[in-house]
Structure 1
Amino acid sequence: MVKAIQIGLGHWGFSWSKEVIPKVHAVEMVGYVDTSPDATARVQGELGIDPKLCFTSLDEAAKRTDATLAICTLRTEAHYPVVKRCLELGYNVIVEKPFTTTIAQGKELVALAAQQGKVLMVSQNYRHQPGPIAVAELIANGKFGAMNMVSLDFRRHGPTQGYRYWDMPDPLLADMSIHHFDLMRYVLGDEPVRLSCRTWNPPGSPFHFHPSGVATIEFSRGTMLSYRGSWMNSGPVTPWAGEWVMDAAEGQIRWSSRDHFRDKAGPDVLTLQPIDQSAETVSLSPVKYPDRTGTLNAIAGVVDTGIIPTGFSSGQDNLGSLALVQASIMSASRGGDWVEIEEVLG
C-alpha cells in the first residue's frame, strides 16, 4: 500500500478525488491539500473526507503525514512550482498533462527527480485503454511488417459540447493534441524527428485562437503520419483518441479508443486487414485499471516494487510528447515550415 497526498482539489482535482483515487486500492490517502476553503469544504462535505486529513499548504501536509507519493492535480501553470517542491520534499510524483509549459522546465524536473532518486510520472491516461495497448503490442511484435503511413483524425464541435476554453492560446495543439501526440509515440514505439503544421480559425468560430490544424510528422524509422484535428468540425464526432488508419507493408490496422461523451459510451475498436483479404474485428481484453486509474495504479506499482512497466509515462519519456506540442506550435507560427524535434529539445 502506497500512502499519498493530493494537491489541488478544484474542478478536475475533485474529479480525481471522487472518480479515480477511490478505485485504486494500492493507494491509501493520508492528506489533501488546497488553499481554497471552498474546495476543501467540498471534499469534506461531498466525499466525507476527514477534516484532519485536509491541509492548506504542501509543507504543512509534509510535516504531518507520512506519504511517499504526491498526486498533483492542479491547473497547468501551477505544475512546475508544485511538482518541484514535491520532489524537493522527497515525494514521488504523478502530475496531470502537460506536466510543464516549457521543455526547459520539464528537463529541470526530470533532472531533479533523478537527483532525488524519485519517480516522476505524467498521467497520460489515453495509454491505459484496450485499443492502444493492443495496437502497441501488435506493432512491437511486427504485425504486418514495417509501418508505412498513418492517418489520424480527431473531430469535435466545441460550441455544442460546453467547451470552456474559448480564450486559450492554441486550444487544439496545447490542450488536446498532446493526448494524440503521446499515443503516436506509444503505439508506434518510435520517436518523431520533424514535423510541419498549419492551424486556422474557421469563420464564425467563438474561439479567439486556432481550434483546427493539420500536421505531417516524420518518425525515425520512416513512418509518415498525417494528423487532422479540430474543435470546430461539423462532421460526425470521433472518439477522444481519434480514428486511426495504419498502413504497413503487409496490411492495415484500424482502431479507435475512448468513445464516450456525456451519456454516450462505446468500446474501443480494432480491425486488422491483411493485403487483399477481408477485414477482421479483433476482440479486446478489458483493462483492470483503465484511463486515469491506470496511471495512478502504475505509479503506485513502481513506487512499491521499483519495476518500470512497459509504456510507463515517466517525466523523461513525456518530454518527447511535450516536444511534439512545442514543435507543432512553432511550425504553425512559421507558416507550416518544417521544425526539427531536436531544435525543440535542445
Structure 2
Amino acid sequence: MVTAIQIGLGHWGFNWTQEVIPNVPSIEMLGYVDANPAALKRAQDELGIAEELCFTDLERAAKAVDADLAICTLRTEAHYPVVKRCLQLGLNVLVEKPFASTIAQAKELVQLAKDHGRVLMVSQNYRFQPAPIAVAELIGAQRFGSVNLVSIDFRRHAPSQGYRYWDMPDPLLADMSIHHFDLMRMVLGDEPKRVSCRTWNPEASPFGHDPIGVATIEFEHGTMVSYRGSWMSSGPATPWAGEWTMDCSEGEIFWASRDNLMGKTGPDRLVVRPRGGEAQPVELTPSPFTDRLGTLAAISKVIETGSTPARFSSGHDNLHSLALVQATIASAAQEGEWVDIAEIMASA
C-alpha cells in the first residue's frame, strides 16, 4: 500500500479526488491540501472527506502525516514550485502535464528527484490505453518493418464541447498536442529531431491564442510525422488521442484511442493491413487501470517494487515531450522555420 497526499483540489483536482484516486486500491489517502478553504470544504461536503485530513498548507500536511507520494493536480504555473518542495520533503511525486513551464525548470526537478532518490512521474495518461500500448509493441517487434510516414488528425469543436480556457497561451500545442507528441515518442520508440509548425486563429474564434495548427516532425530514425490539430473543427470529432495512419515498409497500421465525448464512450480501435493484403481488425487487450488510473497505479507499483516498467512517463523521459512542445511553439513563432529539438534542450 502506498500512502499519499493530494495537492490541488480545484476544478480538475476535484475530479481526481472524486473519480481517479478512489479507484486505485493500492493508494491510501492520508491528506488533502489546497490553499483555498472553500475547495477543501467542497471535498468534505460532497465526497465525505474527514476535516482532519484537510490542510491549507503543504508544510503542515507533510509534518502531520507520513506519506510516500504527493499527487500534484494544481494549475500549471504552480507545478514547478510545489513539485520542487515535495521532492525536498522526501516525497515521490505524480504531477499533471506539463510538469514545468520551462526546460530549465524541468531539468532542475529531474535532477532533484535523482538527488533525493525519489520517483518523479508526469501523468501522461493517454499512454495507458489499449491501442497505443498494442501499437508500441507492434512497432517494437518490427511487425510491419520500419515506419516511414505517420499521419495524425485531431478534430474537436471547443465552443460546443464545454471548453473553458479561452485565454490560455498555445491552447492547442501546449494543452492538447502534448498528449499526441508524447504518444508519438512512445509508439515509435524514437525521439524527435526537428520540427516545422504553423498555427493560426480563425475568424469568429473565441480563443485568445491560436487553436489550429499543422506540424511536420522528423524523428531520429527517419520517420516523418504529419500532424494536424484543431480546436475549431466543424468536421467529425476524432477520439481525444486522434486518428493515426502509420505507413510502414511492410504494411499499414491505423488506430484511434480515448474515444469519449459528451457522455458517450467507445472502444479503442486498431486495424492492420499487410502490404498487398486485406485490412484486419485487431482485438485489444483490456487493462484494469486505464487513463489517469493507469498513471496512478503505475507510480504506486514503482514505489512498491522499485522496478520501472517500459514506457513509464518519468520526469526524465517527459523532458523530450516538453521539448517537442516548446520547439513547435518556437517554430510557429518563426512562421514555420525548422527548429532543432537539441537546441531547445540545450537552451536551458
TM normalised by structure 2 equals 0.99
**Matches of 1:65 and 1:192 in 2, distance apart?**
42
Instruction: Specify the alignment match of 1:93 in structure 2.
Output: 93
Note if contact 2:243-2:256 (Cα within 8 Å) is conserved in structure 1: yes
Matches within 5 A, 1:179-194: 179-194=179-194
CA-to-aligned-CA distance 1:30-80 (integer Å, 9 cap, x gap): 010011111101111111111111111110011110101000000000000
Instruction: Specify the alignment match of 1:117 in structure 2.
Output: 117
Determine what percentage of the aligned residue pairs are the same residue. 68
Note if contact 2:177-2:325 (Cα within 8 Å) is conserved in structure 1: yes
CA-to-aligned-CA distance 1:98-151 (integer Å, 9 cap, x gap): 000100000000000000000000000000000001000110011110110000
Quick check: 1:325 aligned with 2:328? Answer: no
**Unpaired segments of 5 or more residues in structure 1?**
none
Cα drift, residue 216 of structure 1: 0.2
Note if contact 2:129-2:290 (Cα within 8 Å) is conserved in structure 1: yes
Counterpart of 1:152, as a letter, is I
Instruction: Specify the alignment match of 1:255 in structure 2.
Output: 255
Could you say what the CA RMSD is over the residues aligned between the two structures, in angstroms?
Answer: 0.6
Quick check: 1:106 aligned with 2:106? Answer: yes
CA-to-aligned-CA distance 1:174-223 (integer Å, 9 cap, x gap): 11000000000001000000000000111221112110000000001000
Instruction: Specify the alignment match of 1:140 in structure 2.
Output: 140
Counterpart of 1:230, as a letter, is S
Note if contact 2:161-2:262 (Cα within 8 Å) is conserved in structure 1: no
Instruction: Specify the alignment match of 1:54 in structure 2.
Output: 54
Cα drift, residue 4 of structure 1: 0.3
Matches within 5 A, 1:3-152: 3-152=3-152
Three-state SS of the structure 2 residue aligned to 1:202 is coil
Instruction: Specify the alignment match of 1:297 in structure 2.
Output: 297
Matches within 5 A, 1:168-317: 168-317=168-317
TM normalised by structure 1 equals 0.99
Three-state SS of the structure 2 residue aligned to 1:303 is helix
**Matches of 1:86 and 1:122 in 2, distance apart?**
14
Counterpart of 1:147, as a letter, is V
**Matches of 2:165 and 2:15 in 1, distance apart?**
18
The runs of 4+ residues in structure 1 deviating greater than 4 Å are: none
**Matches of 1:79 and 1:208 in 2, distance apart?**
23
**Matches of 2:52 and 2:168 in 1, distance apart?**
37
**Matches of 1:200 and 1:40 in 2, distance apart?**
39
Counterpart of 2:180, as a letter, is H
**Matches of 2:261 and 2:100 in 1, distance apart?**
27
Cα drift, residue 308 of structure 1: 0.1
**Matches of 2:119 and 2:324 in 1, distance apart?**
23
Quick check: 1:342 aligned with 2:342? Answer: yes
**Matches of 2:309 and 2:23 in 1, distance apart?**
20
Three-state SS of the structure 1 residue aligned to 2:172 is helix
**Matches of 1:27 and 1:205 in 2, distance apart?**
42
Instruction: Specify the alignment match of 1:165 in structure 2.
Output: 165
Three-state SS of the structure 1 residue aligned to 2:180 is helix
Counterpart of 1:181, as a letter, is F
**Unpaired segments of 5 or more residues in structure 2?**
none
Counterpart of 2:57, as a letter, is S
Cα drift, residue 262 of structure 1: 2.1
**Matches of 2:69 and 2:263 in 1, distance apart?**
33
Three-state SS of the structure 2 residue aligned to 1:171 is coil
Counterpart of 2:88, as a letter, is E
**Matches of 1:253 and 1:276 in 2, distance apart?**
13
Cα drift, residue 162 of structure 1: 1.5
Note if contact 2:152-2:244 (Cα within 8 Å) is conserved in structure 1: yes
Count, aligned residues: 346
CA-to-aligned-CA distance 1:285-319 (integer Å, 9 cap, x gap): 11110000000000000111100011100000000
Cα drift, residue 323 of structure 1: 0.4
**Matches of 2:58 and 2:139 in 1, distance apart?**
43
CA-to-aligned-CA distance 1:143-170 (integer Å, 9 cap, x gap): 1101100000000011111111111111
Cα drift, residue 228 of structure 1: 0.2
Counterpart of 1:18, as a letter, is Q
Note if contact 2:156-2:234 (Cα within 8 Å) is conserved in structure 1: yes
Note if contact 2:72-2:83 (Cα within 8 Å) is conserved in structure 1: yes
**Matches of 1:52 and 1:166 in 2, distance apart?**
37
Note if contact 2:157-2:234 (Cα within 8 Å) is conserved in structure 1: yes
**Matches of 2:160 and 2:262 in 1, distance apart?**
12
Note if contact 2:255-2:269 (Cα within 8 Å) is conserved in structure 1: yes
Note if contact 2:95-2:123 (Cα within 8 Å) is conserved in structure 1: yes
